[in-house]
Amino acid sequence: MQLIQELTNGLKILEPFLKGYGFELDEYGVEKKPEGHFAVATYKNKSKKFIIDYHFSVGQVLYQYENSIASHPFYLDNLGFEDKKLHKGFISVVQHEEFNHILHDFEYLTDDFFKGECQKLQKISALKDNIITEVDRKIRIEKSLQFDSFRIEKARQYFSKKEFQKCLEIYRFVDNKDLLGELDNKAIEYCKRHI
């Protein structure tokens, strides 16, 4: 399979460096996903893992220390090497060239990941988790506001049809009470009196 051959050839570029720092091939295989076949290779040195997936070209490159994990671009960007890294995480037409770019970028990770105790990786991983958590929180708030706006509109429709029980039930499910206007509060009071 061409996929395996391309990844194998690329790993030959990286392996001397990885082995020089005590990393040994831990897992190697092909996964079938809806998008097609992916080849994945993992190198391990005690609690450290270097993971690379391949699908037509280099996909993700990940660095892991215990439960902390960061992608190649995110790790290097947060170490301050955004303008010096060669592997940008983009799919390349020249496959072997991306492996050379990764090898070049290892230079910036040597002190923290390959030789060090991954202290910066752990902080960067936590930063990534915080960014994801904050984005997730904002999406949840936005969706919550949308749902509550929809609920309020639905409750108003039931109120106009004089279906006070249904109107009141829907108003009770509104989480963001600050969305309720003066008319909504009056409608709630009216429904309570006429059920």
Pair 121, 66: CB distance under 8 Å: no
Is residue 176 a part of any domain in this protein? yes
Share of the chain above pLDDT 70, in %: 87
Q: Clarify whether residues 109 and 164 are in a common domain.
A: no
Higher pLDDT, 145 or 91: 145
Q: Are residues 55 and 27 in the same domain?
A: yes
Asked which of 117, 140, 155 is the last residue of a domain, the reply is 117
- Residue 152 has a pLDDT of 94
Reply yes or no on whether the pLDDT at 94 is more than 60. no
Tokens of 191: 């429904």
Which residues are within 8 A (CB) of 191 and not within 5 positions of it... i.e. 6 or more apart?
159, 164, 165, 167, 168, 171
What is the domain extent for residue 165?
132-193
Residue 23 within any structural domain of the chain: yes
SS3 content of the chain, % helix, strand, coil (to 5): 60, 20, 20
Q: What pLDDT sits at residue 195?
A: 86
**pLDDT surpasses 70 at 60:** yes
Residue range 98-147, pLDDT digits in tens: 899 999 999 999 999 999 999 999 999 988 766 666 656 666 667 778 87
DSSP, collapsed to helix, strand or coil, labels residue 59 as strand
**Whole-model pTM?**
0.65
Write phi, then psi, for 162 (nearest 5 degrees): 65, 30
pLDDT digits (tens, 9 = 90+) for 38-57: 788 999 999 999 999 887 67
176, 85: one domain: no
